[in-house]
Structure 1
Amino acid sequence: MGKLALAAKITHVPSMYLSELPGPRQGFRQAAIDGHHEIGRRCRELGVDTIVVFDTHWLVNANYHINCAAQFEGLYTSNELPHFIANMNYGFPGNPELGHLLAQACNRLGVETMAHDATTLAPEYGTLVPMRYMNADRHFKVISVSALCTSHYLNDSARLGWAMRRAVEDHYDGNVAFLASGSLSHRFAQNGQAPAFATQVWSPFLETLDHRVVRMWQDGDWADFCAMLPEYAVKGHGEGFMHDTAMLLGALGWSRYDGKAEVVTPYFGSSGTGQINAIFPVTAQDGAAIPAAQASNPAGVASTSRL
């Protein structure tokens, strides 16, 4: 029925918004903004009607959650970085129908998930910043999924991604994009040193690790990357414990994924963290791509990957 038309790992650094404003940092995040514009353009080209964002700024302590209100509208100030994002306007339609289909598919696969449509819950800036540049004309409907998961297994997040793809392809009449909104390494500069690290990564180790990971993505080395993801999430200070990345790769087929990432915005440092915009081509995946012995765990991630 439906189609997962586009998948991407994206940045949401608040300095993108700061980059719009007059001052010493004006324009310094234009490459990241241009990357978002390009992803939005491709979504339009592919006929996407709804963008689903795996948001590493939405912290949850139990269950997985989907914000699928009919409409989102308001002013947003970041409680984390109010000097970067203050009183930012946002507005776009939601998609309650798809939100419930996604939750039902996850629950059928044993990943306890709740869809919230009758809610005053506002999206976090992991959703709002990308939509500012990809969806300024409110062309796309938007769904936000919790991806800062404090007591969850990475394999469950990957299974959630797979279930959501199945929901789109088996039960939805439309084209959808999945966006993993989060950084690679996410070790912020120490307090007082942030200005000096505005365009840098915190340490040579983390930067080298991130570059190696990006090369693995470009080379299609998914078996090795998926095997190292739990350790990378910890030692690389992965944002949201890399649950957004597990969700995205679960949707793409996990270690059986056979695409190669296309870098849209080259890797860059921001306040100590490592950032990128990269599109992961969606390739055909079905039940045959998942080993029968892992039928109850389509992600194929070791159950010891708790974070």
Structure 2
Amino acid sequence: MGQIVGAAVVSHHPGLVQPKEIRVQRGNGRDSDLVEGFERVRAKIDAVKPDTFVLFDTHWLTTSLHLVAGAAHYKGSYTSDELPFSMTRFPYDHAGAPALAAEVEKVAQERKVAARNVVEETLPLHYPTINVIHYLGRGEKVLSVGTCQTARFKHFLEMGEVVGEAIRRSDARVVLLASGAMSHKFYDLDHVPPNPRVWHPDNVSEPKNRALDMEVLELWKQGRHDIVLDRFPELEEAKYEGRGAHYAQMMGALGGRSCRARGTQLSEYENAAGTGNVHVWFDLQ
């Protein structure tokens, strides 16, 4: 019987894979703490010894269907069409989780949830998967889960429930990775960051969004996912990345409003182009 042994919300923005000297320059003499934060997340992963990551990818936007990437292997070179000068010919090479992906589709069919398994190895990957696996991967299998842009909150929870049941029916030891920002409103081209350290939270685009992020971080610390999920319209108003699908799907897999996993913040809360970014680990043991 498979088991979910850990879970985390993690940042993935392209600035994290730029050369260190650029990151330090943008940080006014100090690197982004999210980079060292990945090492702290990895230490948590090492402690629970998973063989598989299920990664909820906020940039893999699908339509009319939830999708999972179920090929046996992914290898290639990625150039971002969004930010090509931050990520050009960035290599990736990791195993997929085809058996788990097939189980996801089977459970979805049983529950009449609109979800399919994509087995084509040439499926384009996105940097929420590539960047996180770059920092956290140590040979684990990886199953990427998309963000259906025609889904609503209840559908994200249902898809998470499907993923959770599929894991239970498998033989996998899984860490869930919700790859995305918190508030995700970009500032415009004329914006001048008020703090010279680009990563500083003062540079998050909206003070009210930053305040909401702080409230959510405290609720995660307390394990009060029920309250966060009940406040989901506020998260969507603050433009949580992928409409918050990464977090909602992860919570669906962990029991939804009944989940009381307490969060441990493993990085500073940082800005990236106006968005709020952080790594938070949820203990399930």
Normalising by the residue count of structure 2, what TM-score does the alignment of the two structures yield? 0.91
Paired residue secondary structure (1:108) = helix
Alignment pair present for 1:207 and 2:210? yes
> Equivalent residues in 2 for 1:44-83 (5 A)?
44-83=46-85
- Residue number in structure 2 paired with 1:187: 185
Alignment pair present for 1:16 and 2:19? no
- Residue number in structure 2 paired with 1:3: 3
Change (3 A) 1:96 1:82: same
Superposed CA offset, 1:138-191 (max 9, x none) = 5111111102x221021111121122112112x211201111111110001102
CA distance in 2, matches of 1:100, 1:253: 22
* One-letter identity of the residue aligned with 1:235: E
CA distance in 1, matches of 2:189, 2:165: 44
How far apart are residue 89 of structure 1 and its match? 1.2
CA distance in 2, matches of 1:20, 1:105: 43
How far apart are residue 30 of structure 1 and its match? 4.1
What percentage of aligned pairs have identical amino acids? 27
Whether the 8 Å contact between 1:15 and 1:29 is mirrored in structure 2 is no
* One-letter identity of the residue aligned with 1:97: A
- Residue number in structure 1 paired with 2:244: 242
How far apart are residue 194 of structure 1 and its match? 7.0
Whether the 8 Å contact between 2:73 and 2:94 is mirrored in structure 1 is yes
* One-letter identity of the residue aligned with 1:219: Q
Give unmatched runs, 5+ long, in structure 2.
none
CA distance in 2, matches of 1:91, 1:196: 39
Alignment pair present for 1:118 and 2:120? yes
- Residue number in structure 1 paired with 2:230: 227
- Residue number in structure 2 paired with 1:303: none
- Residue number in structure 1 paired with 2:156: 157
Whether the 8 Å contact between 1:67 and 1:145 is mirrored in structure 2 is yes
197-206 vs 16-25, greater mean Cα deviation: 16-25
Paired residue secondary structure (2:279) = strand
Normalising by the residue count of structure 1, what TM-score does the alignment of the two structures yield? 0.85
Whether the 8 Å contact between 1:264 and 1:278 is mirrored in structure 2 is yes
> Equivalent residues in 2 for 1:249-288 (5 A)?
249-282=251-284
Whether the 8 Å contact between 2:74 and 2:96 is mirrored in structure 1 is yes
Whether the 8 Å contact between 1:35 and 1:265 is mirrored in structure 2 is yes
CA RMSD of aligned residues (A): 1.9
CA distance in 2, matches of 1:113, 1:70: 19
Give unmatched runs, 5+ long, in structure 1.
284-307
213-222 vs 271-280, greater mean Cα deviation: 213-222
CA distance in 2, matches of 1:267, 1:73: 32
How far apart are residue 118 of structure 1 and its match? 2.9
How far apart are residue 28 of structure 1 and its match? 4.8
Change (3 A) 1:194 1:122: farther
Whether the 8 Å contact between 2:74 and 2:121 is mirrored in structure 1 is no
CA distance in 2, matches of 1:175, 1:275: 27
- Residue number in structure 2 paired with 1:86: 88
How far apart are residue 221 of structure 1 and its match? 2.3
12-21 vs 66-75, greater mean Cα deviation: 12-21
Change (3 A) 1:195 1:201: closer
CA distance in 1, matches of 2:150, 2:271: 28
- Residue number in structure 2 paired with 1:142: 142
CA distance in 2, matches of 1:101, 1:21: 44
- Residue number in structure 2 paired with 1:292: none
Paired residue secondary structure (2:284) = coil
